[in-house]
Amino acid sequence: MNSSRGLRKFTMVGLSLTLMGGLLAACSGGSSESEETRVLRIGFVSGSADMESYYRQQYTDTYEMMHQNIEFEIVNAINYDDQRYDQPEPGKPVQQPDPYEKLKEMLTGQNPVDVLVFDYNQLRRLTQDNLLKQLDPLITQDKFDLSDYVPTVIDGIKSAGDGNLFALTPTFGSSALFYNKKIFADKGISPPTDKMEWQDVFNLARQVTGGEGEDRTFGFSFNRWSYDGYSDVQNYSSALQLKMWDDKGEKMLVNSDQWKEVWSTVASLHKDEIVPTQKYIQTLNEKMASEGGAGDPFYGDMFIKGKVAMTIGEYGYINELKRAADNASKIKDFVPVDWDVVTVPVNPNDPETGGSIYLSQLMGINAKAQNDKDAWDFIKFTNSKEWAKLKSRSMYEMVARKEFLKPIGGLQYNMDAFTTLKPLTPSSVDNEKIYREKPGIYEAQNPAYQLFQEVLEGKKEAGEALAEWETQGNAVLEKLKTNPNGEMGGGVGIPRPL
């Protein structure tokens, strides 16, 4: 009985692989098995021996199955195993490697990689240093169709390459502004729209906020889980691309009109209870504890419980909303949210750009690739329509080709909300370098939390608190010139800025 069942399972697996092979052969016109074996070196920013199998499953196995003459070598610019087992000398801090310098070594060394898989924040520096091969001529030569790529992906890549394409990505991540349609309808107020400015969203949130105590409905939350005022400051300032210190980490930049507007706005939202407050969440916790800690499948998620009119959530949040609706009959007093989405709020100075787009699987060809022809064929394969069709079955990844980007589970919602805005253009400055060379720089952020609490409590005005932060932060930055690790030995326990 068991052997028969095993045979049937083996037969089905074999059939599935055969069907997949037939489908994917169209991606690059079949394989060239008669040719001699060629090596294609593919590089990642970081990894380890344990992660190699994941990388192969995610990126190379299918292509290798279809191209018997291609053999992949996985290379990591930073090997986690080296760091894990490296034993520093007593009294000396562990020296963190420079990811970008390691990338350059991998691209320009004696045996350079052919394909590089990397994050969007590294794209501008790679192109400015001429480390990647421009793909536009290859795309034109092979008539590789990119007409159905979502604007978010193509425009974002081009903006980091001065209008040219130096990489492609088969998938991307994105967030949007989710809103409760019923709350707006009950108030007789028009819901949010695409490309609304931040202040317009905040004004709208004030209009739909209402109720008292446990019955209060909040107008907005910066994300689904954190209801801490200073975390909201970090989220808002990050979306506006505000800096805490200069590019050298030598001078604080927080005593400015822009920072004052951020602190004043977030403080006002919390004081007026337009957003869920820590006090409100604490009250809920105490009530749950008094009731014996009864299970709540949506604990902490105020939007899904119908208590927040608008929140920023990632694409995968749709799955949770759908599962909640599908299981509503099992949950006492639960009414599924009638929701839709629009783009995340935008900066009025750059209304076509949003801060919640993630291009984390960019693939480019090394300018010094030894096997650039197979490298391009591999990139075409992983960015083909056939590959996008397979990837479109994912519940969390979004495929870059619009033809296969369909609403999850047959739902109806504004899919364009996730695909319209361009990602924030990556900086040409190596911001991570400051954290490596000055680990104690986290301490310059440390005064901000307490100072913001004093603003919330009405003890200080935003401008006054920011001036104090500037003074205290500059004192830390000055000390770091002689002691880069800081008083706490590298900022251990200090929350890292978003």
One domain, residues 259 and 350:
yes
Nearest to 106 by CA among 366, 326, 295: 366
- Per-residue model confidence (pLDDT) at position 139: 97
Do residue 197 and residue 337 come from a single domain? yes
- Confirm whether 489 is domain-assigned: no
Q: Token pair for residue 403?
A: 């033809």
Using a CB cutoff of 8 Å and minimum separation of 24, what contacts does 258-262 make? 259/466, 260/462, 260/463, 260/466, 262/233, 262/236, 262/237
Q: Are 144 and 267 contained in the same domain?
A: no
Tens of pLDDT, residues 411-429: 999 999 999 898 887 665 6
Strands of 84-196, DSSP E: 115-118, 171-180
- Domain match, 220 and 266 both: yes
Name which residue leads in pLDDT, 369 or 291: 369
CATH of the domain at 233: 3.40.190.10
User: Does residue 316 share a domain with residue 250?
Assistant: yes
- The predicted structure's pLDDT at residue 3: 41
Phi, psi of 79 (to 5 degrees): -100, 115
Instruction: Answer whether 127's CB lies under 8 Å from 162's CB.
Output: yes
Q: Both tokens of residue 155?
A: 């425009």
Average of per-residue pLDDT values in the chain: 85
Sequence-separated (6 or more) residues with CB below 8 Å from residue 301: 224, 225, 320
Centre a 10 Å sphere on the Cβ of residue 411 and count the other Cβ atoms it contains: 14
- Domain holding 121, by residue range, is 33-87+95-170+361-405
pTM: 0.84
CA torsion sign for 130, 356, 342, 148 is positive
CA 145 to chain centre: 27
- The answer to the question of residue 475 being in a domain is yes
Q: CB within 8 A of 407, min separation 6: which ones?
A: 413, 415
Which pLDDT does position 170 carry in this prediction?
92
- Name the percent of the chain lying above pLDDT 70: 85
Residue of 190, 251, 173, 266 lying closest to 221 (CA atoms) = 266
Residues 326 and 372 occupy one common structural domain: no
Question: Looking at the domain assignment, is residue 380 inside a domain?
Answer: yes
Residue 212 CB contacts under 8 Å (≥ 6 apart), including other chains: none
Residue 6 or 355, more confident:
355
354, 389, 420 — which closes off a domain? 354
Cα separation, 206 vs 214, in Å, equals 18
Residues 119 and 239 occupy one common structural domain:
no
State pLDDT tens for residues 165-189. Answer: 999 999 999 999 999 999 999 999 9
Residue 458: CB atoms within 10 A of its CB come to: 9
Digit-coded pLDDT (tens) for 221-238: 998 877 789 999 999 999
Look at residue 20 and tell me if it is in a domain: no
Least confident of 52-61, 278-287, 415-424, 463-472: 278-287
Quote the DSSP letter at residue 78.
E
pLDDT tens digits along 66-118: 999 999 999 999 887 666 666 666 656 556 778 888 999 999 999 999 999 99
426 found inside a domain: no
136 lies in the same domain as 226: no
494 part of a folded domain = no
pLDDT at 16: 43
Q: Has residue 3 been placed in a domain? A: no
Residues 314 and 195 in one domain: yes
Residues 296-353 have pLDDT tens digits of 777 778 999 999 999 999 999 999 999 999 998 888 888 999 999 999 999 988 898 8
Q: Does any domain span residue 133?
A: yes
Residue 23 predicted with pLDDT over 60: no
- Shared-domain flag, residues 201 and 296: yes
Residue 93 CB-half CA count within 13 A: 17
**159 and 141 fall within a common domain:** yes
Residues 196 and 312 in one domain: yes
User: How many domains are there within the chain?
Assistant: 3
